[in-house]
């Protein structure tokens, strides 16, 4: 198996969603630390412009967004399953709700409390990233709202645990647990392990302790330059385009792919892979040669170039 190379930084909650999956599956992986703000000069040759954190690399295949990174990890290391075959749609839908709703309430809550202590470079970067001014005073004023929203949404997860099950949908952890660990970990790390509203959600707190106990798998450090050398020395894996896809896009067509929410930087290339789940585009970079960049379909806008 070609090594998993994970581009991330310690304080990134979406990275923690993946690191805990490495822990559950007891996977060995190589860690490349990336900056938490732009510029990211050693990441751009790989992604072609996608700037979010994390990114996963396997040789010359680059996987963007944890939605896709998690399904790819499941393919590489199927056991223990985070996407149980009979419940895959359900856990992926739960993960989507958590990523797109609970996460943002939790970020608002945390930033409302620590935003004014963050460096100006971070505030400027996150204003560009989100398309909205990163305004600590406004976020502080919004704490009652963000705390309410975090409480109301986490209460749904607390209800799921009410019958004594150890994990969200049953006896074993799934992708849904990894997704929920992202905002809960963020609140616990940046505020306090029992910060409000977690102090009202005892089942979530015990569940978070169970998740923490999985650790983060077997990590070894890799220099960013070495990851680029690996991409250069590798060939992308074959991919295929579904000729029946409702978009009508054809193999070889030039397209751009852009996240629909934050960090909206288009990545251009030639279509080499298309399914309901993912879009894969081939690009060439002067430093590393041919790579294929893979994105999920949900939450990404595809446009012909
Ligand atoms: N939908 C993305 C969200 C990733 C995301 O928003 N990550 C944050 C860090 S946790 C980010 O990219 N922040 C800006 C940055 O790191 O440059 C995913 O699932 O990977």
Asked whether the domain spanning 86-212 has the same topology as the one spanning 5-79+219-304, the reply is: no
Of 197, 191, 35, whose CA–CA distance to 117 is shortest? 191
The model's pTM is: 0.98
Query: Domain residues of the chain, as ranges?
Result: 5-79+219-304, 86-212
Return the CATH number of the domain spanning residue range 5-79+219-304: 3.40.30.110
Which of 16, 99, 262, 301 has the most ligand 1 atoms within 8 A of CB, as the residue to mutate? 262
What is the Å distance from ligand 1's center to 31 Cα?
17
What is the Å distance from ligand 1's center to 152 Cα?
23
Give the H or E element holding residue 77.
none
Residue 287 CB neighbours (<10 A): 14
**pLDDT at 2 (0 to 100):** 80
Give the H or E element holding residue 246.
none
Q: What is the pLDDT of residues 236-285, one digit of tens each?
A: 999 999 999 999 999 999 999 999 999 999 999 999 999 999 999 999 99
Is the peptide bond prior to 2 cis by the omega test (within 30 degrees of 0)? no
**pLDDT at 165 (0 to 100):** 98
Residue 82 CB neighbours (<10 A): 25
- Give dist(CA 243, CA 241) in Å, integer: 6
Which of 263, 264, 278, 299 has the most ligand 1 atoms within 8 A of CB, as the residue to mutate? 263
Residue 150: C-alpha distances to residues 82, 147, 182, 300 (Å): 25, 5, 13, 25
SS3 assignment, position 62: strand
* Residue 280 structure tokens: 């894969």
Which of 10, 13, 14 has the most ligand 1 atoms within 8 A of CB, as the residue to mutate? 14
Task: Give, using CA atoms, the residue closest to atom 7 of ligand 1.
Answer: 53
What is the Å distance from ligand 1's center to 126 Cα?
11
What is the Å distance from ligand 1's center to 163 Cα?
33
Which residue pairs from 234-237 have beta carbons closer than 8 angstroms and sit at least 24 positions apart in sequence?
A: 234/2, 234/59, 234/60, 235/59, 235/60, 235/290, 236/59, 236/60, 236/61, 236/272, 236/282, 236/290, 236/291, 236/292, 237/58, 237/59, 237/61, 237/292
Q: What is the pLDDT of residues 40-72, one digit of tens each?
A: 999 999 999 999 999 999 999 999 999 999 999
What is the Å distance from ligand 1's center to 298 Cα?
15
Q: 86-212 architecture in CATH?
A: Up-down Bundle (1.20)
Residue 107: C-alpha distances to residues 134, 170, 278 (Å): 12, 27, 27
Of 98, 66, 69, whose CA–CA distance to 169 is shortest? 98
- Give dist(CA 134, CA 119) in Å, integer: 12
- Residue matched to tokens 């983060």: 216
- Give dist(CA 178, CA 203) in Å, integer: 16
Ligand 1 binding pocket, CB closer than 6 Å: 12-14, 36, 51-53, 65-67, 99, 129, 262-263
Phi, psi torsion values for 224, nearest 5 degrees: -55, -40
Looking at the CA of residue 54, tell me the nearest atom of ligand 1: 20
* Residue 28 structure tokens: 């060995």
Residue 23 CB neighbours (<10 A): 21
Which of 52, 118, 127 has the most ligand 1 atoms within 8 A of CB, as the residue to mutate? 52
What is the Å distance from ligand 1's center to 217 Cα?
21
The ranges of the chain with pLDDT < 50 are none
Give the H or E element holding residue 303.
strand 300-304
**pLDDT at 1 (0 to 100):** 57
């Amino acid at each position: 198996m070609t090594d998993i190379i994970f581009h991330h930084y310690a304080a990134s909650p979406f990275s923690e969603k993946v690191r805990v999956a490495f822990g559950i599956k007891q996977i060995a992986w190589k860690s490349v630390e990336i900056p938490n703000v732009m510029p990211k000069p050693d990441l751009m040759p790989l992604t072609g412009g996608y700037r979010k954190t994390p990114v996963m690399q396997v040789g010359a295949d680059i996987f963007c967004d944890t939605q896709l990174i998690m399904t790819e990890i499941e393919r590489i290391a199927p056991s223990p399953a985070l996407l149980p075959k009979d419940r895959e749609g359900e856990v992926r839908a739960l993960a989507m709700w958590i990523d797109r709703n609970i996460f943002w309430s939790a970020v608002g809550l945390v930033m409302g409390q620590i935003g004014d202590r963050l460096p100006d470079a971070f505030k400027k970067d996150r204003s560009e990233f989100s398309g909205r001014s990163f305004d600590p005073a406004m976020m502080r004023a919004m704490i009652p709202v963000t705390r309410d929203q975090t409480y109301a949404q986490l209460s749904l997860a607390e209800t799921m645990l009410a019958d004594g099950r150890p994990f969200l949908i049953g006896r074993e952890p799934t992708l849904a647990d990894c997704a929920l660990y992202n905002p809960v970990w963020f609140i616990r790390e940046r505020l306090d392990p029992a910060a409000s509203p977690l102090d009202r959600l005892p089942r979530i707190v015990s569940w978070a302790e169970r998740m923490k106990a999985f650790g983060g798998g077997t990590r070894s450090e890799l220099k960013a330059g070495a990851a680029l050398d690996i991409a250069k020395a590798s060939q992308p894996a074959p991919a295929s385009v579904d000729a029946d896809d409702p978009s009508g896009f054809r193999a070889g067509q030039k397209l751009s792919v852009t996240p629909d929410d934050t960090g909206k930087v288009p990545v251009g290339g030639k279509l080499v892979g298309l399914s309901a789940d993912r879009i894969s585009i081939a690009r060439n970079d002067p430093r590393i040669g041919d790579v294929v960049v893979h994105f999920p379909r949900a939450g990404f806008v595809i446009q012909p170039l």
